[in-house]
Amino acid sequence: MKTAKDLKIPYSWPDRYPLFLENFFYIPGFYEGHGNYGPVPWEDPRIFGNSRSVAIEYCSGNGQWIGERAKQNPGTNWVAVEKCFERARKIWLKLHRESIPNLFVVCGDANTFTQYYPPSGTVSEIHVNFPDPWPKRRHAQNRLVRLPFLQLVDRILSPGGKATFVTDDPPYASQMLEELSASGWRPLLESPFYSSDWNEYGSSFFADLWKEKGRQIYSMPFEKIL
C-alpha cells in the first residue's frame, strides 16, 4: 500500500522543473520554462493514455468530491488541481488506496496549469469548488475566479463545455456572477443563477463544514457559448 513517503519531489528548489510522477504532475512555482513543456495531450501515457472525455476540478482539497465523482463516472477522466503539496499528496494516496485509475493529480497553481498544459478545446467540464475567498478587500485581486482565469478556462473547454463554481462567500459569489456575465458565459439556472440545495452535485469537506455551520452554499453552473 502506498504511503506519503512514496511521493516526494526528487530535486532541490533551485533545480526545479515540471515533473511527472506516478499519476501525479508537479508544477513548480516561480518557474519561467513552462512553455517548453506544454501542452501535454491527455493521451500521453504519463497522464491517462486514452482519449476519454476530461473533467477538471480546481481547489480539490483532500479529494473527497473528485474521488467520488471519478468512481461514479469511470468513463470520464478526472483531474484534481491542488496547489498545496500536502493536500495533493492526500488525493494521490486516495486514488491509489481506493483504486481510482481515472483520477490524476496536478500539484500547482491553477492559472499556470491552465495556461500552459491542457491542449485547447479538450476539456468537457470544469469545477471550481470553494476557492479561497480572500475576504479582505485589499486581497480580492488574489481570487482565482476572475476574468484572466475565465479566459484561460475558455481556451481549454470544448464547445458547449460546462463550468460549475461553488462558494459559501456571498461577496465572492456576486463577483463570480459578474465576471461570468461579462465574459459571455451562459447560466444554466434561472435568476438568481445559483442553487443552494443541489444535493446531487456531491459533497466535500468544505461543503459539509459550511452547511453544518449554517452557511449558504452558492452553486453556479454555466455553459460555454459556442
Q: What is the pLDDT of residue 69?
A: 97
Domain count, the chain: 1
- Is there a domain that residue 126 lies in? yes
Q: What is the pLDDT of residue 128?
A: 97
Q: What is the pLDDT of residue 140?
A: 77
- Is there a domain that residue 198 lies in? yes
Q: What is the pLDDT of residue 226?
A: 66
- Is there a domain that residue 9 lies in? no
Q: What is the pLDDT of residue 201?
A: 87
- Is there a domain that residue 194 lies in? yes
Q: Which residue has the cell 478587500?
A: 137
pTM summary value:
0.95
77-82 and 54-58 beta bridge pairing:
parallel
Q: What is the pLDDT of residue 183?
A: 85
CA distance 145 to 134: 11
Q: Which residues of the chain have pLDDT under 70?
A: 226
132 in active site: yes
CATH number at residue 192: 3.40.50.150
Beta strands per DSSP E along 12-53:
19-21, 24-26
- Is there a domain that residue 154 lies in? yes
Q: What is the pLDDT of residue 141?
A: 86
Q: What is the pLDDT of residue 138?
A: 80
pLDDT tens-digit readout, 22-80: 999 999 999 999 999 989 999 999 999 999 999 999 999 999 999 999 999 999 999 99
First to last CA, the chain: 45
- Is there a domain that residue 4 lies in? no
- Is there a domain that residue 148 lies in? yes
- Is there a domain that residue 8 lies in? no
Q: Which residue range forms the structural domain that includes residue 96? A: 14-134+142-223
19-21 and 54-58 beta bridge pairing:
unpaired
Q: What is the pLDDT of residue 95?
A: 97
Catalytic residue among 6, 15, 132, 208: 132
